[in-house]
A and B are shown apart, each in its own frame.
Chain A
């Protein structure tokens, strides 16, 4: 046979491929128009906000825009061992004067203070000098500023200003990992007693992992029952699984608070059956126990439903075949049934883990201090400190983490093996 592929023509002499494309074109346009609203919706509500979040998290143009002359002059500051030359001082003075007129000098002081502690004081001193018109522009500005406060003679402070020059910064990401750019430009760890974020990351992972594990061990038998019971019982059980799903998250969390508190229903029951003494009621809330219990219950349906949908498709005759061929019930389960449920396990675990890693309300309400997770920290920065760029940076780190987990999962199990229903 010849290896040449002959172009197939239609009866009218048009190449078949062209003809096919033409015939399909209309359908393709129709199909696209059908999904176009969704695509637009996704772009507006998902891709655009994530892009905005990213921009916010690395944006550091505030100082760049406030001190244009300073940074221009700093290009000529070559010997970084010595204080910057007169031009830098003059540029900074002129920039600062403009800010004073616009009444934006306070913002600069705060921003620089974050970069180097003590800046607020010395910029305020400079502000007062300018207000009183004490600076003589005809003589050296450098000498006059250096006299205002000894910190102006400290090269560290000038280096700090220089560090804020680039319009973009990774500082927020470093902060999220308890690291910072030291004055010499290297990346350093913050002091041990101030490393809060790393603990939160680890705790978030730990809680997400255990919640996934508990959900799996509780959800697997439930899903199996659901898939094998006769219809009338399985429907009832399905409602029991879904009922919490239909209840508001807050209501569910609040009911766990009622159940788990020290004077709560569970503790009352323990006391009643004599498991614990009345004066010795265990703390089941405002700690990890509460978080685990409430989150597992709330996320359980996300484990049960994918498992159920996979188990439903497994023919009961497979287990019977396994047994009739000589496998003990355990062997038949482990070698035949279990491997077939892996797509459901993968889907369920991934769902629960990803939901758990970003969980917020439940750990905040029942978790207490030790229940604070990374998402609580994000919310804290959104609402309390108003450091949106830091909140954005941590949000993106969380998203990256989820993507990494997804990638690892894909390597281990294969995303094609996921079955959500």
Chain B
């Protein structure tokens, strides 16, 4: 069976709650069958609203949502056949784990034997076999989370929605659950739409990430591209860390441009600037700037160390560079590490291709 690249389709969807403010603006989004897509964005960016519209708990103010080619805007939630994992798990507290998992099957009038088989399979998938008779309150947060995932998958839905499912877990558990969910997705190939505001979660798990801000998708691409090649300064800012320089383009050719800062000039990679005189924000990942580079780099400057923070696996160094005291360097910790001291002058270099000249902030 060939994968449908438009398995879920948001077609020009608008959403407004009060008739004055658009929470989602002209959303155009195609989700392929079997894909793990993450909607990432700050709170209030409209990502959860999109999920709720897909689940059927909110209706689009304008536009259509299509599932496998069928318009679903008028189908009530219980007929959509979409599994959902809620932020606070939403396990039924008065039912055992077995009853929780059997619920979607029972309402579908599945035979008892079949229910037992499916529940068994779903529980072993989340490694919770033997927990059938427990009540949700007797489970730890991570176990409850897994039950919620199993329940959303047990009736073989075409699409599973997850609304910040790991938000309530502690850091270690969250990370292991990320891998677990990713592996489940890989092994059963269900389409997953995942909502989170945690960028590392999004980068770890997804095939593609849609970065939401202000009701619009800012960038839709795979994790590597999103991190390495942000298309605008919001995405660059939101995903990972970055150093920024605000300036004006003074010279531009095909793959290089010269940006005039307050009192110096740097070379950058023109992404969203077209012509001389445009204002721009240059974004540079901290790990792309090197100390005392051995290779020749086309941006070489001297900075003064203002702060050194030890982070275990790496050291963060804050520099005063080019008139800004917010320049961050990430130096991996190794034995050959330099003795970095506050108020020491060091040479910093980076390639112009990594310095992306984006829209001005």
Q: Which residues of A contact B (CB under 8 A)?
A: 315, 317-318, 320-329, 331-332, 335-336, 339-340
Contact = CB atoms under 8 A, between A and B. Distances in A.
Contact of B103 (A320, A329, A335): A335
30 contacts: A317-B86, A318-B92, A320-B55, A320-B57, A320-B77, A320-B84, A321-B84, A321-B86, A321-B92, A322-B103, A323-B56, A323-B76, A324-B57, A324-B78, A324-B84, A325-B78, A325-B84, A325-B104, A325-B107, A325-B151, A325-B155, A326-B79, A326-B104, A326-B155, A327-B78, A327-B103, A328-B78, A331-B78, A331-B107, A340-B93
A315 B88 contact: yes
Contact of A325 (B88, B93, B103): B103
A329 B104 CA distance: 13
B78 A326 contact: yes
Contacts of A335: 103
Contacts of A322: 92, 103
A329 B108 CA distance: 14
B78 A318 contact: no
Contacts of A329: 76, 78
Q: Which 4 A-B pairs have the closest CB atoms?
A: A325-B104, A321-B90, A317-B90, A324-B84
Contacts of B80: 324
Given A326-B81, A326-B155, A339-B94, A317 B107 contact: no
B82 interface: yes
Nearest to B78: A323
B77 A317 contact: no
B16 interface: no
Contacts of B77: 320, 323-324
B83 interface: yes
Interface string B83-108: 11011101111100000000110011
A336 B92 CA distance: 7
A264 B94 CA distance: 49
Contact of B90 (A315, A326, A328): A315
Interface in B46-97: 55-57, 76-84, 86-88, 90-94
Contacts of B92: 318, 321-322, 336
A142 to B, nearest CB: 78
A326 B86 contact: no
Contacts, number: 68
B108 A326 contact: yes
Contact of B107 (A315, A327, A339, A340): A327
B103 A318 contact: no
A280 to B, nearest CB: 48
B78 A332 contact: yes
Contacts of B107: 325-328, 331
B94 A324 contact: no
Interface string B145-170: 00000011001000001000000000
Contacts of A326: 78-79, 81, 104, 107-108, 155
A417 B221 CA distance: 52
A340 B94 contact: yes
A328 B82 CA distance: 14
Nearest to B81: A326
B308 to A, nearest CB: 45
Contacts of A321: 84, 86, 90-92
Contacts of A332: 78
A319 to B, nearest CB: 9
B55 A324 contact: yes
A317 B78 contact: no
B82 A324 contact: yes
A318 B90 CA distance: 5
A334 to B, nearest CB: 11
Task: Identify the interface centre among A321, A323, A335: most chain B CB within 10 Å of its CB.
Answer: A321
Contacts of A318: 90, 92
A324 B83 contact: yes
A331 B103 CA distance: 10
B207 to A, nearest CB: 23
A336 B90 CA distance: 11
Which of B78, B81, B84, B87: most chain A CB closer than 10 A? B78
A28 to B, nearest CB: 31
B99 to A, nearest CB: 9
A320 B78 contact: no
A240 to B, nearest CB: 26
A313 to B, nearest CB: 10
Contacts of A323: 56-57, 76-78
A315 B92 CA distance: 10
A320 B91 CA distance: 11
A358 B107 CA distance: 44
B272 to A, nearest CB: 40
Chain A CB within 10 A, most for which of B81, B83, B104, B155: B104
Interface in B97-121: 103-104, 107-108
B166 to A, nearest CB: 16
A346 B90 CA distance: 24
A328 B78 CA distance: 6
Contacts of A327: 78, 103-104, 107
A277 B97 CA distance: 61
A322 B90 CA distance: 9
Nearest to A327: B107
A72 to B, nearest CB: 68
Nearest to A324: B84
Contacts of B87: 317
B91 to A, nearest CB: 8
A329 B81 CA distance: 14
Contacts of B152: 325
B280 to A, nearest CB: 44
Contacts of B104: 325-327
Contacts of B55: 320, 324
B103 to A, nearest CB: 6
A336 to B, nearest CB: 6
Interface in B245-292: none
Contacts of A320: 55, 57, 77, 84, 86, 90
A340 B95 CA distance: 10
Contacts of A328: 78, 107
B95 to A, nearest CB: 8
A326 B83 CA distance: 9
A317 B83 contact: no
B352 to A, nearest CB: 50
Nearest to B108: A326
A128 to B, nearest CB: 78
Contacts of A317: 86-88, 90
Contacts of A315: 88, 90
Contacts of B161: 324
